[in-house]
Amino acid sequence: MSRLIAITRKELHMYFVSPVSYAAFAFFFVIVSYFFSANFIGSQLVDVRLIFDSMSIISVFVIPFLTMRLLSEELRQGTDELLFTSPANLTEIVLGKYLASLTVLLLIVTLSFAYPLILAQYGTLELPVMWLSYLGYFVMGATMMSVGLFASSLSSNQMVSGIAALGILLLLWIIEWIGTSVYVDAQPLIEQFSLIGRLSDLQRGLFDLSDLIFYISLSALFIFLTVQVLTRKRWK
């Protein structure tokens, strides 16, 4: 456990000294704030769902930048050999980096509370909808972070890792559209793997345990794949 915490702290330090992280944060909140303002002024509705639609889609583009250096930087600098021979096993290394990314995601969630606070000045918020929407966003963001972590293990080039993460996330994002437009007969099955489709019930204030299981299982799958990629690199 101490090794896991040490790795997490090291990665958090790297996040907060990286200009890319600050640029990604700035981009995220500038764009989300723009859409929040435009939607609120245009609709005059006190609806927290105005927040999460834009937060979700912007996250698809921002999270690859927040995760692309997690492992690719180690591979580029050659410090992966130190990781492979450290007292911590590969699972601890991957989980430590993943926990650091979840801490960053939690910071994003915390800062975004400014939006419902603004809405609350103009009307009554549907609190069950708000909290379940936040829960949905966090577990979806955690899944995106696991995808980014996996992509960062594939290449020593950060941009390649970022593009790979973006490609996977876009595929998981539009898979519902693919089911609707291309593979109509398989639509019900394909929709089960949609990142955005799984959010719809939570954003309506409806709790379905299967949605949480989906996001947690997908996160676990990509963490497992990351460990497997590093295991293969260790023995090369």
- DSSP label at residue 199: G
The 3-state secondary structure of 34-78 reads HHHHHHHHHHCCCCCHHHHHHHHHHHHHHHHHHHCCCCHHHHHHC
Region of 185 (left: φ > 0; alpha: ψ -120 to 50; beta: rest) is alpha
pLDDT at 85: 61
Six-digit token string for 42: 């245009």
pLDDT at 92: 85
Domain that holds residue 112: 2-234
pLDDT at 189: 64
Whether residue 17 has pLDDT greater than 70: yes
Whether residue 45 has pLDDT greater than 90: no
Mean pLDDT of the chain: 84
**Alpha-carbon distances of 98 from 8, 63, 79, 235, rounded to whole Å:** 8, 12, 18, 23
pLDDT at 223: 95
Query: pLDDT per residue over 71-128, tens digit each?
Result: 887 777 665 555 656 666 888 889 999 999 999 999 999 999 999 998 888 878 888 8
pTM, to two decimals: 0.88
| Total number of domains constituting the chain | 1
- Quick one: CA dihedral 154, 74, 220, 138, positive or negative? negative
Query: pLDDT per residue over 197-211, tens digit each?
Result: 778 778 887 888 888
Six-digit token string for 103: 């801490």
